A and B are shown apart, each in its own frame.
Chain A
C-alpha cells in the first residue's frame, strides 16, 4: 500500500486560505468516503481534525473544511492563523481493514 501523495509544503499569510491536496487511488481515497485529517505540531500529539471527508469533530474550528473529488481529497484552512502552522496528514481507509496515511504537508504562516 503506497502512501497518499501530499504537497511537501504550502504557505499563506494570516487571514488567507490554503488548500492541501491528498491524492490516492480508487483503492483508497477514491473508493471510500473515509478520509480524515490530522494536525501535528512537532513534539505534541497529533490532533484529529476531519473525518468522513468533511466532518469536523467537536471543538475543531469551522475554518477547517474537507472535501473530495475522485481520488483526491483536500483540506482547506480559511482565515489562516499563526497557530495553524503545523504538519498536516491525510488518512484513508484502504480496504481489507487497513489504513494509509499521506506523506504530510508543512503549513507555514508567513
Chain B
C-alpha cells in the first residue's frame, strides 16, 4: 500500500520560496510505472494540478502552464522523496498542497491519481 506524507513549513512570506517534500513508502520514486504529482487546493481555485516527475530511463517533468515559470519538482532517490519548490510566492499560493501518485490504469494506459497524501496547509503572508 502506497503512503505519501507531505512536510514543510506551514507559513511562507510573500516573494519567498515555498519548499515541500513528499516521503514515499510502498513504492519507489524511480518506479517505471508511476509518476509523482503535486496538486494544491484552495477555496478560490479548488483542486489545481501543478506538475509531476517520473522516470522512464531518464527523468521527465511536466508542469501546468499557470505555474510553469515558478515551480520545480525534483526526485531524491536516496531518500525516496519528491520535492516541490514554488518561487516568488504571493497570498494566491496559499493552499493545501498534496502529493499524489499517478499510476497507469486500463487499456488507455493513462495515469490517474490513485494514492494521495493528507496534504499540508501552506499559508503565504503578505
Contact = CB atoms under 8 A, between A and B. Distances in A.
Contacts of A98: 49, 62-65
A39 to B, nearest CB: 11
A55 B106 contact: yes
B106 A51 contact: yes
Interface in A54-110: 55, 57, 89, 91, 93, 97-104
Interface string B50-88: 000000000000111110000000000000000000000
A57 B47 CA distance: 21
A84 to B, nearest CB: 18
A34 B110 CA distance: 7
B48 A101 contact: yes
Interface residues of B, number: 26
Interface string B80-123: 00000000000000000010100001111010111111110000
Given A45-B119, A55-B105, A98-B62, A3 B114 contact: no
A57 B46 contact: no
Contacts of A43: 118
A104 B47 contact: yes
A93 B110 contact: yes
Contacts of B112: 36, 48, 51, 91
Contacts of A104: 46-47
A1 B62 contact: no
A1 B62 CA distance: 14
Contact of B113 (A1, A48, A102): A48
Interface of B: 39, 45-49, 62-66, 98, 100, 105-108, 110, 112-119
